[in-house]
Each structure stands twice: as structure tokens, then as C-alpha cells.
């Protein structure tokens, strides 16, 4: 009995001594350098020291190609960035925190509400909310149509969202004009 207990205790202690950060075979960690390079390539200079992972992020191959999807402001000295692998089967989308301001040693655009990123701006407050009814104006070469639709997504000014007609048959992509109007194009 005593021998079984000591063997069991040895197995448990050996399990505790194993490194927790060891990646599962076939999974490769995504590093702060990869993330910083992707964000910097989008127009916002970021160093790997400014990146904080919110969870361990792994990919199915080493050093996958990443793309920056969005950057949001969190308080006065921090940003949140959403990234994903260009090939969606290589990793799941993930978020990182980016330290900015004096304590990061970098002067960035954290105090601005817009960032000089190619095609990416922080998420503004939604003007329309999912589930609300708005007017969709569809413009064609010789026709202009107004249709009452239901927003399937919340959206800020200028953002493209999906809307659906009242009969629930057609879904359109439209740009938010204001709190009651979205605009689309006919082919």
C-alpha cells in the first residue's frame, strides 16, 4: 500500500514538474514579434515589448501569415487588436493588448480616436443596432428604391452591415448613413 502511494505521488509530482507552456505536438506558438510585425506593416509602429497576449495562441504551422482585422482603444494607454491567420485553417482569430503611451517607451496615436492604419479604424459607437428597422435605399443606374429592412448587425457611420427585408427572404449589404438610413447598390 505504501509503495503504491509513493509511486502515485511520484507520478503526480512528475506531472507538476512538466512545463505548462509546452505546445501540443503539431501546434506552434505565435510570438509577439510576428504580431508586432503584422501591426507595423499595417501602418502603426509597434514593438514586440508592447504586445501582451490575452491567452496562449498557437497555429498549425510555424510562423503563419497574419492579418490585422481591427484595433480598438482601451482607456488612455492601451489598445486591443484582433488578428487572424490569412489561411483560416492555420489558427483561430485572437486578441492582443498593445501598451502605448509613456510607459511603453513609444509615442503612438493612442490619444487619437482614429489610427493611421490602412483601412482600419477603431470601432466607433454604433449608430444602428441589430434588430432595429431602418430604410434601405438601393441605387441603380435608372432606379432608386426604398425598402424598410431590419438590421442584422450593429453598425457605426460608414460601416457596411447586413440587413434583411421584412419578408425575411433577401439579405443585403448596406452602408450606414445615419440612425435611420442605410444605402446599397443594385448590380
Structural domains of the chain ordered from first start = 21-111 (no CATH), 133-185 (2.30.30.760)
Q: Is the overall model pTM greater than 0.75, yes or no?
A: no
pLDDT of residue 187: 67
pLDDT of residue 74: 74
pLDDT of residue 15: 43
pLDDT of residue 113: 33
pLDDT of residue 108: 42
pLDDT of residue 85: 92
Three-state SS for the chain is CHHHHHHHHHHHHHHHHCCCCCCCCCCEECCHHHHHHHHHHCCCCCCHHHEEECCCCEECCCCCCEEEEEEEEECCCEEEEEEEECCCCCCCCEEEEEECCHHHCCCCHHHCCCCCECCECCCCCCCECCCCEEEEEEECCCCEEEEEEEECCCECCCCEEEEEECCCCCEEEEEEEECCEEEEECC
Q: Tens-digit pLDDT profile for the chain (187 aa)? A: 445 444 443 444 444 444 444 456 778 999 999 999 998 887 788 899 999 988 889 999 988 999 988 888 877 778 888 899 999 889 989 989 888 865 444 444 443 433 444 344 455 678 899 899 999 998 877 888 899 999 999 888 888 899 999 888 888 889 888 889 999 887 6
pLDDT of residue 2: 47
pLDDT of residue 34: 92
Q: Are 58 and 28 in contact (CB under 8 A)?
A: yes
The Cα 9–Cα 187 span in angstroms is: 70
Amino acid at each position: 500500500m505504501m509503495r503504491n502511494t509513493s509511486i502515485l505521488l511520484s507520478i503526480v509530482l512528475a506531472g507538476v514538474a512538466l512545463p505548462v507552456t509546452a505546445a501540443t505536438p503539431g501546434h506552434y506558438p505565435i510570438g509577439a514579434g510576428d504580431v508586432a510585425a503584422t501591426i507595423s506593416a499595417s501602418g502603426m509602429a509597434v514593438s514586440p515589448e508592447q504586445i501582451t497576449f490575452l491567452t496562449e495562441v498557437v497555429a498549425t504551422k510555424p510562423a503563419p501569415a497574419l492579418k490585422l482585422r481591427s484595433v480598438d482603444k482601451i482607456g488612455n494607454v492601451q489598445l486591443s487588436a484582433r488578428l487572424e491567420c490569412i489561411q483560416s485553417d492555420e489558427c483561430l482569430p485572437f486578441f492582443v493588448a498593445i501598451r502605448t503611451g509613456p510607459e511603453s517607451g513609444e509615442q503612438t496615436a493612442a490619444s487619437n480616436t482614429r489610427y493611421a492604419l490602412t483601412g482600419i479604424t477603431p470601432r466607433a459607437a454604433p449608430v444602428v443596432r441589430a434588430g432595429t428597422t431602418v430604410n434601405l435605399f438601393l441605387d441603380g443606374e435608372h432606379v432608386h428604391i426604398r425598402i424598410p429592412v431590419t438590421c442584422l448587425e450593429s453598425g457605426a457611420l460608414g460601416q457596411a452591415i447586413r440587413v434583411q427585408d421584412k419578408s425575411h427572404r433577401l439579405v443585403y449589404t448596406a452602408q450606414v448613413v445615419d440612425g435611420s438610413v442605410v444605402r446599397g447598390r443594385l448590380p
